[in-house]
Amino acid sequence: MNRLEVRGLSTFFDTDEGLIRSVADVSFDIRAGKTTAIVGESGSGKSVTSLTLMRLLPRDAATQVKGQALFVNRAGETLDLLTLPEPRMRAIRGNEVAMIFQEPMTSLNPVFSVGEQIAESLRLHKGLSGAAATAQALRMLELVEIPAAAQRLREYPHQLSGGMRQRVMIALAMACDPTLLIADEPTTALDVTIQAQILALMRRLQTETGMSILFITHNLGVVAHHADDVAVMYAGRIVEAAAVNDLFARPQHPYTQGLLACLPAQQRRRADTGEGRRRLYAIRGQVSSPLSPPPGCAFEPRCDQAVPACRDAMPALRASEAGSARCILVPEATR
């Protein structure tokens, strides 16, 4: 069963310079109890996708949102997150669908203790009294393995380290037992030791609660170890989607192949097989401006495998032997 089915999601921003197509015709599924990762360079539309799903786009932005986000709630109802009345969406946001933001220091309220912020969510969504909400907030801090949790409950975000603030964010997101957790690069600002601890914690909580996770990251190492399915985004579109093992073993799209070739492990593998060390590979050029995208494939100006036909039109996402890819050079799967 799928927990979330996103179909044809598009998010455009109308600016003085023109229409910015941040997300264009994005579709993917998140299976119940599984993790789907969205990967890509900065500016590819990953965070805008998550904020669109949560309906947290800036209110003063002139936005155009199209598509569907069909979410199956605890009661088994299928709801379109993009069209729900705002009061109903507020009841779901932070309750059944929760989000861990990229930078907890700017997401947590600096004038309230971390315990009060967790307790507020419990009072709002679970109807707990003040004492019961505080007790549950303490239990959540203990669950995410914050040392001296009773003391930290009364402290403010600025008094905590980066790793502790991220654990508080996870505790806040998990307080109401969500069925879907959206994690927007939750370990980007952390050192590798704390990053490993946070990822292990999220995996353990997923195993214990059965929640689904949408994991947004640019770290392919994290994807390899923690995702079940992967969607690769480039210039606002999904260019490849596959199960994680298939994506790493048989990348289909030239952009995915380029991302994997950039990993230092690929250079070490060449040395181990006698090919010798080579200069670390880098994808040439830059992502095109969303104000003036190329007429055909968005990756064509940077693609080493491009042919003249790539400039004619945006390729459709077609089924391949290892998943699906948006490239005319990828042979379609035989049925």
* Averaged pLDDT, 241-254: 94
The predicted structure's pLDDT at residue 101: 86
Residue type, 299: F
Q: For residues 170 and 41, what is the distance between their CA atoms, to the nearest angstrom? A: 24
Cα first-last separation, the chain? 23
- Mean pLDDT of the residues in the chain: 88
pLDDT in tens, 168-198: 998 999 899 899 999 998 877 677 887 888 8
The beta strands (E) that lie in 43-177 are given as 63-72, 78-80, 97-100
Residue 275 has pLDDT above 70, yes or no: no
- Cβ–Cβ under 8 Å, residues 50 and 178: no
Is the model's pLDDT at 90 over the cut of 60? yes
Matching residue, tokens 């119940």: 32
Q: Which amino acid is at 308?
A: P
Cα–Cα distance measured from residue 236 to residue 11, given in angstroms and rounded to the nearest whole number: 9
Q: Any bridge partners for residue 237, and if so which?
A: 234
Q: Tell me: domain 1-96+178-288, CATH 3.10.20.90, correct?
A: no
Where are the domains positioned within the chain?
1-96+178-288, 106-175
Specify the DSSP class assigned to residue 45.
S
Beta bridge pairs of residue 14: 19
Average pLDDT over residues 119-123: 93
pLDDT tens profile 291-305 = 888 889 999 999 999
Task: Assess whether pLDDT exceeds 50 at residue 65.
Answer: yes
| Neighbouring-strand partners of residue 29 | 5
In the structure, what pLDDT confidence band is assigned to residue 333 with cuts at 50, 70 and 90?
low
Q: Which pLDDT belongs to residue 268?
A: 46
Contact criterion met (CB below 8 Å) for 236 and 23: yes
Confirm if 153 and 115 have CB atoms less than 8 A apart.
Answer: yes
Q: How confident is the model at residue 335 (pLDDT cuts 50, 70, 90)?
A: very low
Other beta carbons within 10 Å of 77: 8
Name the residue with higher pLDDT: 272 or 209: 209
Distance CA 202, CA 183 (A): 10
| The pLDDT of residue 55 | 94
A 10 A CB-CB count for 58 gives 9
Separation of alpha carbons 170 and 198, rounded Å: 9
